Amino acid sequence: MGRFSKMHGLGNDFVVIDARESAIDMTEARARAIADRHAGIGCDQLILIGSADDADVSMQIFNADGSEVEACGNATRCVPLFVGRDVLIRTKAGLLDAKAVDGGASVDMGAPRFDWDAIPLAYPMDTLTMGASWEDLPAPAAVNVGNPHVIFFVDDLDAVDFDRLGPLIEHDPLFPARVNVNFAQVTGENQIRLVVWERGAGLTRACGTGACATAVAAIRRKLMTGPVTVSLPGGDLVIDWAPGGSIQMTGPATHVFYGEADWSRF
């Protein structure tokens, strides 16, 4: 039997497994089975906490469809709570410094990248105002914050058909690694309302990297200055960034319960 913790950041929920002392052979099929909300434990992402030579811990992230991804902001905020102290975390996106704050954590998410081949896109293009769009959506911006994001600033968020447009854009050939799709509406001074279609997971109550990418895009377009409050269906995140610097994300993290499971059954 193996122990796990069920955790969430603003409703973006995780099964978190400590693999520091007992390694787990995590395959795409096993991760998908564990994440299944009817026949498994159920989660948006499966998180493996392991050892690292150059950090306090490592973090592997698997989406609900079993695909492994580079970064997850909401999960990163859960790691100090899971470990019980401030931590430096090794991820596929690089080293992330996470510190506990009242009710959650503050994470240095590193510097965003804007080059077309860093997103990545299939061919060269301006990533601040892309020369591509879908149906009546405005020209988006693209940002890599450890994983790829495309951001649409719309006038009326409630008029967007997320369930149809999200997967259409996620799987567009323009994005060879697929993409997280962010639909944003500026609602006030330094305030954004955001809905995210997450690569490999679909609509989610919150996406930390999506909030980071959207705030960065808004600041680059001079729509606002940081810090930016990003309101997602699950709650608010505060994102601070200045051009040339790294992104600071602050928000809640919650432990729900501990459990045990026989991983060989998945």
DSSP line for 65-92: TS-EES--HHHHHHHHHHHTS-EEEEET
Question: What is residue 1's predicted lDDT score, i.e. its pLDDT?
Answer: 81
Residue holding tokens 């787990």? 24
Question: What is residue 22's predicted lDDT score, i.e. its pLDDT?
Answer: 82
State residue 129 phi and psi, 5-degree precision. Answer: -135, 95
Query: Which contiguous run of DSSP H or E holds residue 108?
Result: strand 104-108
- Inter-residue contact 163 to 131 (CB < 8 Å): no
Q: What is the mean pLDDT of the chain?
A: 96
Instruction: Give the residue among 79, 58, 3, 51 at the shortest CA–CA distance from 253.
Output: 79
Question: Region 217-240: what's the mean pLDDT?
Answer: 97
- C-alpha 73 chain-centroid distance: 5
Q: Which of 43, 78, 207, 212 is catalytic?
A: 207
According to DSSP, the residues that pair with 228 across neighbouring strands are 239
Query: Which contiguous run of DSSP H or E holds residue 45?
Result: strand 45-50
Write out pLDDT tens, residues 44-91.
999 999 999 999 999 999 999 999 998 899 999 999 999 999 999 999
Question: Region 254-262: what's the mean pLDDT?
Answer: 96
Question: What is residue 164's predicted lDDT score, i.e. its pLDDT?
Answer: 97
Question: What is residue 55's predicted lDDT score, i.e. its pLDDT?
Answer: 97
Q: Is it the case that residue 93 has pLDDT exceeding 90?
A: no
Query: pTM of the full predicted structure?
Result: 0.91
Question: Region 215-240: what's the mean pLDDT?
Answer: 97
Question: Region 88-110: what's the mean pLDDT?
Answer: 94
Q: Which of 43, 72, 78, 212 is catalytic?
A: 72
Contacts of 264 (CB under 8 A, 6+ apart): none
Write out pLDDT tens, residues 5-52.
999 999 999 999 999 988 889 999 999 999 999 999 999 999 999 999
Question: What is residue 146's predicted lDDT score, i.e. its pLDDT?
Answer: 92
Q: Is it the case that residue 103 has pLDDT exceeding 90?
A: no
Burial of residue 161 (number of CB atoms within 10 Å: 0-12, 13-18, 19+): exposed
How many helices, marked H, and strands, marked E, lie in the chain? 4, 17
- Inter-residue contact 115 to 143 (CB < 8 Å): no
- Inter-residue contact 253 to 234 (CB < 8 Å): no
Say whether 212 is catalytic. no
- Inter-residue contact 142 to 151 (CB < 8 Å): yes
Write out pLDDT tens, residues 112-125.
999 999 999 999 99
Say whether 43 is catalytic. no
Q: Is it the case that residue 133 has pLDDT exceeding 90?
A: no
Q: Is it the case that residue 136 has pLDDT exceeding 90?
A: yes
Question: Region 249-264: what's the mean pLDDT?
Answer: 95
Question: Region 233-262: what's the mean pLDDT?
Answer: 96
